[in-house]
A and B are shown apart, each in its own frame.
Chain A
Amino acid sequence: MADILRERERQIYRKGQQQPFQLDCEKQSAAGSVSQRACVFCGSRVVLYPIVDALHIVHGPIGCASYTWDIRGALSSGPELHRLSFSTDMQELDVVRGGEKKLHAALCELIDAHHPKAAFVYATCIVGVIGDDVDAVCKRVSLEKGIPVLSVHSEGFKGTKKDGYRAACDALLNLVGTAPIDDISPLSINILGDFNLAGETWMIRDYYKRMGVQVVSCITGDGRIDDIRRAHGAALNVVQCSGSMTYLAKSMKEKYGIPFIRVSYFGVEDMSKSLYDVARHLKDKEMLARTQAMVREELERVMPVIAEYRKALEGKRAAIYVGGAFKAFSLVSALRLLGMTTVMVGSQTGNSEDYEQLRELCDEGTIIADDSNPLELSSFLEEKDVDVFIGGVKERPIAYKLGIGFCDHNHERKEALAGFEGMLNFAREVYSSVMSPVWQLTPRKRGKSLEVVK
């Protein structure tokens, strides 16, 4: 068992062993706990990153730009401006004298060189401390260059990753509602909270196209500034990554009266339900029939393959640690479809409703953890004798060091995991992680029986 910090004891729950259910969450990480979370800047940067025709410039010392250069597998069908790293690279003198002039010059030269449709300026920690008026610089450049230049108040210390999501949504809200919407169909939606990792937004768009739904904008997968400016013309906001995008959806509901629904594109059950929910919401009978036909066709294609994988995976144990809890729900169901049990599940940023839902979904004995850290995670993996761990880059070495399979379900992934096709990819990846012969050589699997053959 890990030495669990006293401050963190109420952020870990074992189903069935503790009554009543209680899990603390949405707290600042305990100092020194080696949280897997990042900061406000990270929240803003990941949300806005996939907008491919905007200039993204980090105002601050070089680190924040270096560590987020080409960091996400968010694909573009056109411009690739988002994959470049731009920074004001503040030096000591800039800190002393203020960085406004440098920011202005940097923005002007980059806009002249790259002709973006808009620019996002990310304010990092010390910008907030030295008091640069980033808004004023953005306003001035916007007038001079004739494009939207939006400040993103993402100073790392000003809250958590979730506050960064909010800062990103605030910047987006300045764009929405600034372009004409005359030619938009009543059967139209915005895709919110899909980031086109490995082309997932394209797959989802294609489903909607087959259903007869017009997609006005994708926020932010393969995102385009001109589309986002017209987003207020859609009939419905379909929100996937609820942690990052609910605020935007709620704001658009207030301002433009656009309703929103929450969906998930992971796993065949959640995927099908999402498409049906959209069809029902748009109240078009033919569309519902088309959706049913499409879902049937897709299921007939993928289910026999999944059944094959299930034969090998039945009874295997999985652990999940992801950024947003919404993804965890779908993963628990998707793993169950593969015959696997989730023995540990946690997230960086879940809220109490999320965890309540997770508790209902999970089996007895499952560990649920909020804002966990490497020592806890490694002890959970050992205790539960996990076969495959699902998480992101920072979780990978914890599993691998212990000789445990791992699947990347984070923003660096190169395999599309959304949609029906994505479920097949997911099944294949879990299968190839669990079934690899390399585990037979690891000390953990061979344990103390590892002796040189005499």
Chain B
Amino acid sequence: MSSPLRITNSSPRPNWVSTRNPCKACAPLGAALVMRGIAGALPFLHGSQGCATYMRRYLISHFREPMDIATSGFSEASTIFGGGENLRQGLDNVTSQYHPALIGIATTCLTETIGEDMHGLLHEYRTKSSSGTENPVLVHVSTPSYSGTHVDGFHGAVRAVVEQLAEAGAAPSAYFGKAVNLFPGLVSAEDLRFLKQVAADFGLPITLFPDYSETLDGESMEKYHKIPDGGTTIAALRATASAKASIEFGRTLRAKPTAASFLQERFAVPAKRIGLPIGVHESDVFFAAMEKLAGCKTPEKYRQQRGRLVDAYVDGHKYLFGKRAIVFGDEDMVVGLASFLAETGVVPVLCASGGKSGALASSIAEVTTHLRDPLSIRDGVDFMTMSEEVACKQLKPDFVIGSSKGAKLARELGVPLIRVGFPIHDRIGGQRILHLGYRGAQQLFDLVVNTLLELKQNSSSIGYSYL
């Protein structure tokens, strides 16, 4: 930690045993989202029927797109005798209905607790069904819901898929050693499209994984597509082993084994880990990494976007300086937002997450070195704890920024909630919010400034025509 004195991680009262208004979902949800980002794939949960249905509902309410998740649908008998038969039948049925290229299987708390041997069950299934004409690729990830959050399930699934698919020599020769793997973490569909555009503008072939930019933000259809178009192809995933390098976003990943660290250890693909490119500083780091890999300068259009963003920061700085924000959500999103807010003059007085990587405080310290104000950083917390922290430390926030799950907190505090990240269940277009790069920061900046201006205008007896 670069400046330990200004960062506090102490709790306002003895910790609560219960979780009250959670700031997290469970691990299999993150895994299902990743599986939806593979071309021709269907996510599959090994567990009770309800898990798949609840997660579908949670994801549908954010993306407003079909989100089919199959399940082995455990019964009492499968819980006692093992779910092998349900798994087999479920995989057969998914194959005959959806004709998927890949089935991405995640476990649940139930199957982890009864100790299902997924390797064994899937090996047996593959052996038995090898004579069939249609054999989807099967990948699986262990996602016990009693461990970590949806973000851990997300990263775990990215790693598991790469571990199971990456193959030395699988890349076509034109691609070999030239492409870059990009593992962006849990970002919006718009962010994914942005990353693909940047790579194209740099002339750098990339494998972006996962890529749900089309599968979860698709076009209106004349005919229903059983599995939506788009996604990272299986061939590209196999070729990740022969990439020139991997970039992964996420300062809080630290020592965690990831897809990039696996490819580095196993196939000597150099891994570069940077923060989510939110705001000028973190985007600069990203573009510098891209320049190095592409061996060329950042295209003019991004240089202009950066210049325009800095110009906007100048235009709006007075409205933001010294404003106090509560930032919450997935850890790396919180780090990125804290970096962005701090560079515009806003003090992120409370940075909180339901995740508990252990690296939230140190990561925020890294990106807010110029801040003098004290920050409260809380990981592994829920919304009621945040609320108590605000009251206890008299944090007096001007606004709250994070997912729609903070709506209740913002309402209690009587301040606006600026909705970013995941999930956004009470507004349309969460999948189309651009957070990344200079243009993403531009949109966030305009949104933050205008939210505060609107508040100022509405709460003034004069109204003001010019602000």
- Residues of chain A touching chain B, judged by Cβ–Cβ distance below 8 Å, are 2-3, 5, 7, 28-42, 57, 60-70, 84-92, 94-95, 102, 105-106, 109-110, 124-126, 128-130, 156-160, 374-375, 378-379, 381-382, 393-394, 396-398, 400-403, 442-444, 447-448
B16 touches A29 (CB 8 A): no
- Kindly name the residue among A28, A63, A447 whose own CB sees the greatest number of chain B CB atoms within 10 A: A63
Q: B90 at interface (Cβ–Cβ under 8 A)?
A: yes
Query: Which residue, A31, A87, A381, A400, has most C-beta atoms of chain B within 10 A?
Result: A31
Interface string of B232-272 (1 = CB under 8 A from A): 00000000000000000000000000000000000000000
Point out the residues of chain B lying under 8 angstroms from A158, CB to CB.
76
The interface-forming segment of B41-49, B197-205, B364-372 is B41-49
Given contacts A374-B66, A398-B224, whether A67 and B96 have CB atoms under 8 Å apart is no
Chain B nearest CB, measured from A10 CB (Å)? 15
A-B contact pairs, 15 of them (CB 8 A): A30-B73, A32-B93, A42-B54, A84-B384, A85-B19, A88-B17, A88-B18, A90-B146, A95-B109, A109-B18, A110-B20, A125-B74, A157-B79, A158-B76, A397-B67
Q: Are A102 and B93 in contact (CB under 8 A)?
A: no
Determine whether the beta carbon of A157 is less than 8 Å from that of B48.
yes
A62 with B218, Cβ < 8 A, contacts A31-B72, A35-B53 known: no
Q: Are A63 and B26 in contact (CB under 8 A)?
A: yes
Of A32, A61, A394, A447, chain B has the most CB atoms within 10 Å of the CB of: A32
Known: A38-B50, A39-B53, A156-B49. 8 other contacts (CB 8 A): A31-B93, A32-B92, A34-B97, A63-B26, A63-B55, A129-B114, A156-B110, A374-B68
Within the complex, what minimum Cβ distance (angstroms) separates A85 from chain B? Answer: 5
With known contacts A126-B110, A156-B110, A401–B18 Cβ distance under 8 A: no
Interface status of B343 (Cβ within 8 A of chain A): no
B24 proximal to A (CB < 8 A):
yes
A91 partner, pick from B75, B108, B147, beta carbons under 8 A: B147
Given A86-B18, A92-B146, A403-B220, residue A32 in contact with residue B71 (CB < 8 A) = yes
Is the pair A28, B73 in contact by a Cβ cutoff of 8 Å? yes
**Nearest A residue to B26 by beta-carbon distance?**
A63
Q: Provide the residues of chain A in CB contact with B94, threshold 8 Å.
A: 32, 34
B60 at the interface (CB under 8 A from A): yes
Most buried by B among A5, A397, A442: A397
- CB–CB A397/B66 < 8 A: yes
Interface flags for B419-453 (1: CB within 8 Å of A; 0: not) read 00000000000000000000000000000000000
Per the bound structure, the CA–CA distance linking A28 and B110 in Å amounts to 18
Complex: A130 Cα to B98 Cα, angstroms: 35
What residues of chain A lie closer than 8 Å to B64, measured between beta carbons? 396-397, 400
CB under 8 Å from chain A, chain B span 384-406: 384, 405
Complex: A35 Cα to B60 Cα, angstroms: 15
What's the Cα separation between A86 and B22 when bound, in Å? 8
Chain A residues in 8 Å Cβ range of B73: 28-32, 35
A45 to B75, CA, bound (A): 19
Q: Is residue B52 within 8 Å, beta carbon to beta carbon, of the partner chain?
A: yes
> For the complex, is B144 an interface residue (Cβ under 8 Å from A)?
yes
* Shortest beta-carbon distance from B146 to chain A in Å: 4
Determine the chain B residues whose CB is within 8 A of the CB of A91 once the complex forms.
146-147
Q: Which residue of A lies closest to B114 (CB)?
A: A129
* Cβ 8 A contact of A126, one of B16, B109, B149: B109
Q: CA separation between A64 and B55, bound complex, in Å?
A: 10
Cα–Cα distance between A128 and B114 once the two chains are bound (Å): 11
Q: How far is the CA of A40 from the CA of B68 in the complex (A)?
A: 20
Report the minimal beta-carbon distance from A131 to chain B, rounded to whole angstroms: 11
CB distance from A438 to the nearest CB of B (A): 9
Q: In the complex, which of the residues B20, B26, B50, B114 contacts A61, with contact meaning CB atoms closer than 8 Å?
A: B26
Are the CB atoms of B221 and A401 closer together than 8 Å? yes
**Residues in A neighbouring B24, C-beta threshold 8 A:** 62, 66
Chain B residues with CB under 8 Å of A402's CB are 220-222, 224
Residue of B nearest to A6 (CB): B96
Option from A3, A39, A159, A394 in Cβ contact (under 8 Å) with B57: A394
Q: Complex: how many Å from CA A398 to CA B86?
A: 26
A32 partner residues in chain B, CB cutoff 8 A: 44, 70-73, 89-94, 97
Q: Tell me which residues across on chain B come within 8 A of A379, comparing CB atoms.
A: 224
> Are B147 and A33 touching (Cβ within 8 A)?
no
Q: Which of B84-106 contact A (CB under 8 A)?
A: 86-87, 89-94, 96-98
Q: Which residues of A contact B113 (CB under 8 A)?
A: 95, 125-126, 129-130
- Chain B residue at minimum C-beta to C-beta distance from A438: B220
